[in-house]
Amino acid sequence: MSRRGRPRHPPQARPGPKTRTGPGRARPQPLAAGGGRTPPPRPKTRDHGSPRATEWQPTPTDERALERCLQTSRALRAGEWLWTTREGAERDLVEELLRHQPRALQPRRLGAALVASARAPRDADGRLAVTFARQGFEVSGLAQSSDAAQLAAAASAALATAVGDAPRFALHVFVPDSTAANPLAARAEQLEHALTFPEHATRISDAELRRNGGWLAQICLVAEDLAAVGGTAAERALSLWPGGRARMKLGGDFPSRAARKLAEAFAWLGMSPGSGESCVDLGAAPGGWSWLLLEHKARVIAVDPARMQPKLMGNPRLRHMQASAFDFTPPEPVDWLFCDMAWRPLEVAQMLARWARLRHARVMVANFKLPMRRKVEMVERLCSVLASGGWKGIRTRQLYHDREEITLAAHVG
């Protein structure tokens, strides 16, 4: 959606910038775990209208406990979990952890882009179950010294403990993604070059880690004189990029940065459309998501009142429907449903719930804009609405390329 003539909305309903809808190939299997210049009409039926159509009940947040967690000054300790997040999202992550198991997790804000907790929440498949964290690992040791050589020696000893008896490991040395910590990137690079690796283990590349899995050792330079060291199995890691900064590099002339969001979503899920599979892209203009789907050789129906980038229109596998996503019904069930609409998140969720109820698609990847302050509560509500329609295995994450938004994936059971 262009900024000119964009309708005004109250703070909790602001659609934000244009809706848009990124590599790997896999057929859509059950997941283990936008809108154009003219806004779509407001839903008129309870089928995809009022939030009261669901049975969601809010879990109240203990505001006093939350404020204590945000103001604590207790230092990081070995045995705790260290989480990185988007700068400014620390409150969201602390609240999310606090709503899981407040007594067991004991979350607290460490600083900009950093949160700590006593334990880590996991889903039924053993994966880390958090939305607002980019990366997380259990701290096996701390290295602290103002002398660079001593810091490297202490970090090397902690690294040996983190690697354990793993014969092969990948290593990420990074700094928190914050204004204050980013200048320490050069020091983190020097620390990595000065490390001594365990003699029994071989360091592997990130590319091999993504292909074959393995152990991921991590060192976060929390401050100039303090490094937290730990690790996790690749298949259970939140991200396979250092600190969760998944900077997606795409070749070709893609229409918008939204393509990077979808590319990162595919990397996160470990699956993407295969050649010839059918996709619907809701809120498609100017075509960032559709472009990437076409790069995967998929067949795409792009739905948006606004125009697509002209160079996409010559592709025989693309069909553009200039209509509101709320009015569109696919001519037949499709393999994949994609949605990146700059519209009220609950109304979008109700519409997507109807897609599952009517079995219009098998797998969904959607991006929800969250301009409101209580993001954690909204994510819970969105998941409840989608589950009421029949979506299963719902997973949510604020990816690196997401801003005031989250990416959600699910499948029809």
Catalytic (active-site) positions? 369
Long-range contacts of residues 306-309, Cβ cutoff 8 Å, at least 24 apart: 306/1, 306/18, 306/36, 306/37, 306/38, 308/255, 308/284, 309/255
User: Which residue type does 149 have?
Assistant: A
Give the rounded distance of the alpha carbon of 52 from its chain centre.
28
Helix (H) or strand (E) holding 215: strand 215-223
DSSP 202: E
Q: Are 246 and 400 in contact (CB under 8 A)?
A: yes
d(Cα 298, Cα 266) in Å, to the nearest integer? 14
d(Cα 219, Cα 167) in Å, to the nearest integer? 19
For residue 88, CA distances in Å to 105, 212, 218, 373 come to 21, 34, 23, 11
SS3 221: strand
Burial of 37 (0-12, 13-18, 19+ CB in 10 A): middle
d(Cα 90, Cα 98) in Å, to the nearest integer? 12
d(Cα 81, Cα 139) in Å, to the nearest integer? 6
DSSP 183: G
d(Cα 154, Cα 232) in Å, to the nearest integer? 20
Residue tagged 């005004």 (tokens): 8
DSSP 216: E
Peptide bond into 371 cis (omega under 30): no
